[in-house]
Structure 1
Amino acid sequence: MRDHPELSVVVPMYDEEEVLPIFFERMHPLLDGLGITYELLVVDDGSRDKTAALLLAAAEDWPQLRVVRLLRNSGHQAAQSAGFRRARGQYVVTIDADLQDPPEVIAEFLQAVNEQDVDVVYGVRSDRSSDSWAKRTSARLYYRLMCRLVGKDIPFDAADFRLVTRRVVDAVNALPDDGRVFRLVIPWLGFPSAEVRYVRAERAAGTTKYNFSKMLRLAFDSVTAFSAAPLRLATWLGLLGGAMSGLFVVGALVIKLTGRSIPGWTSTVLAVSVIGAIQLLCLGLLGEYVARLFQSSQRRPQFLVGYDSLGDHGHQEPLHHNPQHQDPPQQNPQQHKAPSDR
């Protein structure tokens, strides 16, 4: 396992103890049957249940299973970043632990990357009928907005189930920005790509950890990280507010000069409400960008790795060293067991 494997499968996990037995039962024979060397790199994103203990126990009988534990819950995209920085394979696949994305498609990814000579293979959902109307509609709006802001190369219905080559991994790790959104960053890099379509299944066990607030946060991060369009929107809204104010002034003067003015509060309330709403929206948009600048100026790391079952041998520095992503000294895994096992 000290030699670099051909394939690294990166799996971010957070409180997935219920699905882990099914995950192991399905992934182990599948990866063994690929006929190539591999590592299953599971990034435990600060789980509070028995996920870490189950992973460490399984790793004793599965040499290819590698456990990386983050010191605190840092989020799905941060866990993927940790996996990208620690993965050693020539090919890196990212997949979630809930088995909604069928791991059997990994074999198709490998076939596509070799036959079509590409660096990225996206897993694209061919059917969203299992989703609710609200989720289908919000996903459609999200991808259309991203295509408008980022470019036409954003594949519709492609989330974080994909294969990339080492060239792509190194390019992503060299990017200086924090809080990256992988489903936008990787298409933006412009590497040759292909698509493999599949039908997404229901979650194998447990409940989703990606609630509405996290999806909304992802949408905000996607917009503010890749485009200044909201700032321009604030400018246009300000101009619109000014034009509307001018119309109110002209209307008030006309009414005053014709002698038809009467004491009232409707027009005042309407004017104040419209202009106030526009101002608050503009301030909110500006605040999103100021917050990103503030977080960047603090130089806080996006994640901290507390334990890697492979040890320091698994750590690879990015092409351009970024001190924000330094890992603390490796610690005894017994100090990082799940809270329930302490």
Structure 2
Amino acid sequence: MSVELSVVVPMYDEAEVLPLLVERLRPALDGTGASYEVVAVDDGSKDATPVLLQRYRKEWPQLRVLRLRANAGHQAAISAGLAYAVGDYVATLDADLQDPPEVLAQMLEVARRDGVDVVYGVRSDRSSDSAFKRGSARAFYRLLRSLGQTSAQVDAGDYRLMSRATVQAVNALPEHHRVLRFVVPALGFPSASVGYRREVRAAGRSKYPLARMVKLSVDSITGFSTAPLRLATWCGIGGGIAAILLLVYALVAQLRNQTVAGWTSTVVAVASVGAIQLLCVGILGEYVGRMYTMMQGRPSYFVAYDSAAEDKDTDTTVKRVATAAEQSRAS
């Protein structure tokens, strides 16, 4: 039977929130009236998440478990789910319940009614987030939009619904460190949005501390915009002009027999030029590092287990045994 809706849920050490997720997600999907599957991507969890997933899979036939061999990161886990999902529509949802699963029915209805390829979940109410997180998120989105001319909405994260054509386009992209919240809008497919209130994390702890947020920001900028390279170029030009002006000043002062400032001016000049050079080298290094990773061609994730394959093998075994039993009775 064909699957109309696949829901990809990346998970990493989500044993505390998993029962609450199942309690809300299953009735929300059953209420859509669509045939569906839930692709739970276990991103190398070290707690009881794998055990709980297997337990729920026995009670919930639509639950599919995809386990990665090692922790690959949030975006890589979503990419793995997109590669294995089979639905006509594919939604991505975090396990922490900050994005309410009940909105999925509305997203699917909008996609069916308007015939759009992407339906974004937009956080119309972010009062549950801290003022720092709200402010930094808005500033970063605006910065990236000005740098890369992206059409990504300010308060849209990784909660979205995509058509099969959109998923195939994303899966065909060659880049490894892609940030899907900016890649999907860049495709330019017809889209719509659904607003919702962002809730507090239901249980457990956040998997996105400040260090990971900074890494995500760097991947977003270097993977989506060449503006930093242009910034390095302008810094180099500015440093060169400053050096020429300093040389002219030194020559004029020498011709007039004026005393030139000693070590202070020298240290300031050397430090300024050195800072500009280090900045340019660092920016170039980010892009060279990305090209190096692409040339290596290493996958972003490795799948260790897929419950759908196990179910398929079980069905084949049952049919084989039944056939053998019928032949035995006939003889």
| 8 A contact 1:150–1:188 mirrored in 2 | no
Q: 2:34 maps to which residue?
A: 36
Mapped partners of 1:176, 1:27: distance in 2: 32
| Distance in 1 separating the partners of 2:94 and 2:160 | 11
**Alignment partner, residue 329 of structure 2:** none
* Secondary structure of the structure 2 residue equivalent to 1:175: coil
* Shift in Å, 1:249: 1.9
Matches within 5 A, 1:19-30: 19-30=17-28
Task: For 1:174 and 1:183, locate their aligned partners in 2 and report how far apart those are by CA, in whole Å.
Answer: 16
Which of 155, 167, 174 lines up with 1:176 in the alignment?
174
8 Å Cα contact 1:95/1:101 also seen in 2 = yes
Distance 1:48 1:265 in 2: 57
- Structure 1 window deviating more from structure 2 (62-71 vs 30-39): it is 30-39
Counterpart amino acid of residue 85 in structure 1: A
Q: Where does residue 107 of structure 1 map in the other structure?
A: 105
Alignment gaps of 5+ in structure 1: 315-342
Could you tell me which residue of structure 2 aligns to residue 145 of structure 1? 143
Q: Which has the higher helix share?
A: 2
Which residue does the alignment assign to 1:228?
Answer: 226
Task: Answer whether contact 1:241 1:275 (CA < 8 A) is retained.
Answer: yes
Stretches of structure 2 that go unaligned for 5 or more consecutive residues are: 313-331
Write the letter of the residue equivalent to 1:274: S
Q: Compute the displacement of 1:250 (Å).
A: 2.3
For 1:53 and 1:35, locate their aligned partners in 2 and report how far apart those are by CA, in whole Å: 29
State the SS of the aligned residue for 1:49: coil
> Which residue of 190, 193, 203 maps to 2:191?
193
Q: Equivalences for 1:117-136 in 2 at 5 Å?
A: 117-136=115-134
Whether the aligned pair in 2 keeps the contact of 1:146 and 1:154 (CA below 8 Å) is: no
**Per the alignment, in what secondary structure is the counterpart of residue 88 of structure 1?**
coil
Which amino acid in the other structure matches residue 301 of structure 1? Answer: P
The structure that has the greater radius of gyration is 2
Q: Are residues 256 and 313 of structure 1, via their aligned partners in 2, closer, same or farther at CA, if it must alter by over 3 Å? A: farther
Between the aligned partners of 2:66 and 2:91, the Cα distance in structure 1 is 16
Write the distance in 2 (CA, Å) between the matches of 1:263 and 1:180.
50
User: Any conservation in 2 of the 1:72–1:304 contact (CA below 8 Å)?
Assistant: yes
**Partners of 1:47 and 1:301 in 2: CA distance:** 19
Identity, in percent, stands at 57
- TM-score, length-normalised on structure 2? 0.90
- Indicate the SS of the match to 2:101: coil
One-letter code of the match for 1:94?
T
Task: Output the CA distance in 2 between the equivalents of 1:19 and 1:148.
Answer: 37
Residue matched to 1:303: 301
Please report how far the alpha carbon of residue 283 of structure 1 lies from its aligned counterpart in structure 2 after TM superposition.
Answer: 0.3
Q: Give secondary structure in 2 for the equivalent of 1:139.
A: helix
Distance 1:70 1:257, change over 3 A: same
> Once superposed, what is the RMSD of the aligned Cα atoms?
1.5
